[in-house]
Amino acid sequence: MDEKLIKEVTRDIQRALLQADVNVKLVLDLTKEVERRSLMEKPPAGMSSREHVIKIIYEELVKILGEQRAIPLARQTIMMVGLYGQGKTTTAGKLGRYFHKKGLKVGLIVADVHRPAAYDQLKQIGDKLGIPVYGMRDAKNASKIVSEGLREFAGVDVIIIDTSGRHALEKDLIEEVKDVSRIAKPDERILVLDAATGQQAGPQAKAFHDAVGVTSVILTKMDGTAKGGGALSAVAQTRAPIVFIGTGEHLEDLDPFEPARFISRLLGMGDIQSLLEQAQESMTEEEALETTKKIMAGRFTLKEMYDQMEMLTKMGPLKKLVSMLPGIPGLTDKIDVEESQQRLWKYRVIMDSMTETEMEDPRIIKSTRILRIARGAGVDPKDVRELLRQYNVSKRAVKGFLGNRKLRRQLLKQLQGSGLGAQE
């Protein structure tokens, strides 16, 4: 393994993590372990050194974040804790909706006695969802409300308690959540954390963890520009995994946490996991290998072009795919994605109007055939000519690639073990 390359990659990762507001000590400890493993471990066959280092970085970040965990769909009491402005009350409603949609009876308790509009806000959310809410407007004793609320919801499956927040970790806030925890004996104690919290996430998480023993974390406002780097510090302090992320203002905008996707965003690498998953769903390994074999053998007819378009279309809307590609921020602003999507669809319709012979040998497609194909596809003859021009451009690109020995060797190396390398 090239030590210079490792230093280069880890410097890039350090920069990305620090820009995402990850704690400096955590970044240094992480990259030190990445360097150690990268020098000791041999990359798997077919994986480049850079890919191997990035894989190790993923694994080390997952060690901090913990494996994916779901809150059980069972009878339980959940207490929400966190500072003011983190999105705690809205998240309590979102969580209530999540369990309600799963067929469980839910009750919401308003134990925030310091924010004047807290009761009205949660009551409005509860009414919208058809979930009962217990609380007392203008009440000042959170423990009393929780005690009476638990009795009120004795027959309910999931009780969610929304506690008070403050602008800072004041002593009376900590004592209040301790009292509520003693009375409620919650099964889950969820820390609600704004994705933009940054360096303060660690101390906040530690204070709440010392007070009530945080069991899980929900990261809110992930629909903005914040990458949620503070969450790493919070999880490192509490060893409590992230279970959900809030992705918008609407009550349905609550998604199960997926470590790989979160890490991709944290490192500014695009949603690679989503892209790979959709690619796997749209084509089998055998199909992809077969297409690669034909192209490597110098065969690129309209049939191969059609197969590629078919696979791309199955992967979903082009705009969504482009947005998931790593390292290309703002690409959707630079190209007309909708027009490209329409063109792909039109090309496939045109090729559906061609005979097998025409697909195998596009050179025979002249004026009379162009007219027939255009009529069959319901397009203008110029659209058919445009497709043929595009095919010729693609064919020249493939030919140019095959003439580049270095690129060809790299591809063959990456395909070793798939059966193609041995045949070539």
Q: What CATH number should be reported for the domain holding residue 186?
A: 3.40.50.300
Scanning the structure block, which residue is given the tokens 């690109």?
Answer: 397
Q: Do 182 and 300 reside in the same domain of the chain?
A: no
Q: Do 101 and 169 reside in the same domain of the chain?
A: yes
Q: What is the CA radius of gyration of the chain?
A: 28
By the 8 A CB rule, do 84 and 167 touch? yes
Q: Do 87 and 58 reside in the same domain of the chain?
A: no
CATH code of residue 388? 1.10.260.30
Taking alpha carbons only, the member of 264, 226, 272 closest to residue 247 is 226
> Domains in the chain: how many in total?
3
pLDDT the model gives residue 89? 92
pLDDT the model gives residue 327? 46
Q: Do 281 and 411 reside in the same domain of the chain?
A: yes
Taking alpha carbons only, the member of 288, 263, 289, 285 closest to residue 274 is 263
216 found inside a domain = yes
Domain that holds residue 25: 3-65
The segments of the chain whose pLDDT lies below 50 read: 272, 274-276, 278-280, 282-283, 315-335, 416-424
338 found inside a domain = yes
Task: Round to whole Å and give the CA distance between 286 and 293.
Answer: 10
Q: Do 24 and 125 reside in the same domain of the chain?
A: no
268 found inside a domain = no
pLDDT the model gives residue 424? 37
Task: Round to whole Å and give the CA distance between 329 and 323.
Answer: 8
Q: Do 287 and 349 reside in the same domain of the chain?
A: yes
The H helix count followed by the E strand count for the chain is 21, 8
Predicted model pTM: 0.61
175 found inside a domain = yes
Residue 190 to residues 12, 28, 35, 145, 238, Cα–Cα distance (Å):
33, 28, 34, 19, 11
Q: Do 61 and 119 reside in the same domain of the chain?
A: no
Q: Do 47 and 85 reside in the same domain of the chain?
A: no
Q: Do 86 and 146 reside in the same domain of the chain?
A: yes
Determine the residue type at 167.
H
202 found inside a domain = yes
264 found inside a domain = no
Q: Do 113 and 146 reside in the same domain of the chain?
A: yes
70 found inside a domain = no
Residue 259 neighbours by CB under 8 Å, 6+ apart: 61, 62, 65, 66, 67, 68
β 133-134/158-163 pair status: unpaired
Q: Do 297 and 397 reside in the same domain of the chain?
A: yes
Q: Do 45 and 99 reside in the same domain of the chain?
A: no
